[in-house]
């Protein structure tokens, strides 16, 4: 058996292989509700052979959406639409995961195909909150600084969304603390200028993420994995660093996280990111050396590339993003390329 197609057990959940679908926003929800697009989109990737399907960033508040088209889990009414999706994913032998998120100062934007710019309050936009009153880019509205009541509401919002995710049938939850969204904004000394217990020192800046992790663990079953996506570096002088990510990892592990999903960037509008194949894999390797599982993500597009990452012990899981948008059946093709034995949907066996 190849390394990429070996099973991975995290707590009491076993993934049939080390291929996962990275959470990628579809911007196709209405008032936070999942629809037919989501069912077909995620269901196709499950039948395509991925071991884990992580559903896109799902807002814990209406105001936490990046765009009006984001999925949400702030209401029990949103559970049934997601249950359709998890049921189909699991019928295909995949595990259903979900990323829980709050967009912070990067919320209230138009859909990407409508330009993606921040929406004005007179054109369907809403007020944003952030650790400090610093907009993401010049010309955007200054976000409100989250006070103690807002912070408590943030924590409870993540916890309650996790409870709903469990009712919707998800077996893996991921906390979104990357790409310049709210929880990463607290981590970064460039977006967090607070002078209270949530700002200043490393210990203070990581406090909210640890509290959210601990809160979710109070409602997320002991048998089920909890992931955290971080931006391992901001690629900007004075910002969050890989060394801080290494310091953070064991603390997240102690708080109840099982795996760190190692991405980067997104919080500084003019950061220069050296994008190239596998450019974020070194972060997954560094953080894995602290004793926690990691996932590698970003410009990973080939079976042999992913096989090497797992075989060399650089990460435990490989998340595929754009490659799975281009090719929902990439895992089946990768298995053929690597000579691995993997199950196919019975309806497609004639093509094997």
d(CA 279, CA 108): 30
| Residue 198 is a catalytic residue | no
What's phi and psi for 328, nearest 5 deg?
-60, -20
d(CA 252, CA 245): 10
| pLDDT above 80 for 347 | yes
- Please tell me whether residue 233 adopts helix, strand or coil conformation: coil
Distant-in-sequence, close-in-space partners of 205: CB < 8 Å, separation ≥ 6: 186, 187, 188, 189, 192, 198, 199
Residue 306 has pLDDT above 80, yes or no: yes
End-to-end CA distance of the chain: 18
Residues above pLDDT 90, as percent of the chain: 99
Beta bridge partners of 9: 14
The whole-number average pLDDT for the span 302-315 is 98
Comparing C-alpha atoms, which of 176, 164, 173 is closest to residue 83?
164
Per-residue pLDDT, 135? 98
Give the torsion sign (CA, 242, 188, 267, 297).
positive
SS3 144: strand
* Cα distances (angstroms) measured from residue 86 to each of 54, 171, 175, 177, 262: 10, 9, 18, 23, 25
For the chain, the average pLDDT equals 98
Closest by CA position to 334, among listed 308, 309, 302: 302
Structure-block tokens of residue 152: 């408590």
Over residues 23-67, the pLDDT tens digits come to: 999 999 999 999 999 999 999 999 999 999 999 999 999 999 999
The overall longest dimension of the chain from CA atoms, in Å, is: 64
Average pLDDT over residues 76-85: 98
Is residue 100 within 8 A of residue 158, CB to CB? The reply is: yes
Q: How many residues does the chain have?
A: 352
The catalytic residue among 42, 181, 198, 329 is 181
pLDDT confidence tier of residue 1, bands split at 50, 70 and 90:
confident
Q: How far apart are CA 305 and CA 81, in angstroms?
A: 36
Alpha-carbon span 193 to 146, nearest angstrom:
12
Global pTM? 0.98
Averaged pLDDT, 201-221: 98
């Amino acid at each position: 058996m190849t390394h990429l197609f070996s099973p991975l057990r995290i707590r009491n959940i076993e993934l049939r292989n080390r291929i996962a679908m990275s959470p990628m926003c579809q911007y196709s929800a209405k008032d936070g509700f999942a629809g037919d697009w989501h069912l077909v989109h995620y269901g196709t990737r499950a039948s395509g052979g991925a071991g884990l399907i992580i559903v896109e960033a799902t807002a814990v508040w209406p105001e936490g959406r990046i765009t009006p088209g984001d999925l949400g889990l702030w209401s029990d009414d949103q559970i049934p639409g997601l249950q359709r999706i998890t049921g189909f994913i699991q019928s295909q032998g995949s595990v259903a995961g979900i990323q829980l998120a709050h967009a912070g100062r990067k919320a209230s934007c138009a859909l990407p195909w409508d330009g993606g710019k921040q929406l004005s309050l007179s054109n369907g936009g809403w007020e944003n909150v952030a650790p400090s009153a610093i907009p993401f880019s010049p010309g955007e509205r200054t976000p409100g600084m989250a006070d103690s009541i807002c912070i408590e509401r943030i924590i409870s919002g993540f916890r309650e969304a996790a409870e709903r995710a469990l009712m919707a049938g998800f077996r893996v939850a991921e906390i979104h603390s990357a790409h310049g969204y709210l929880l990463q904004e607290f981590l970064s000394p460039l977006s967090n200028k607070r002078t209270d217990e949530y700002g200043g020192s490393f210990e203070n800046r990581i406090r909210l993420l640890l509290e959210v992790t601990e809160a979710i663990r109070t409602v997320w079953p002991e048998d089920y994995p909890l992931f955290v996506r971080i931006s391992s570096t901001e690629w900007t002088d004075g910002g969050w660093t890989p060394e801080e990510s290494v310091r953070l990892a064991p603390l997240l592990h102690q708080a109840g996280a099982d795996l760190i999903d190692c991405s980067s960037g997104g919080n500084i509008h003019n950061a220069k990111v050296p994008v190239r194949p596998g450019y974020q894999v070194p972060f997954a390797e560094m953080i894995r050396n602290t004793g926690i599982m990691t996932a590698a993500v970003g410009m990973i597009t080939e079976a042999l590339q992913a096989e090497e990452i797992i075989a060399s012990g650089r990460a435990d899981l490989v998340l595929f993003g754009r490659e799975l948008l281009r090719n929902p059946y990439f895992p089946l093709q990768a298995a053929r390329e690597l000579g691995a034995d993997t199950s196919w949907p019975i309806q497609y066996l004639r093509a094997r």
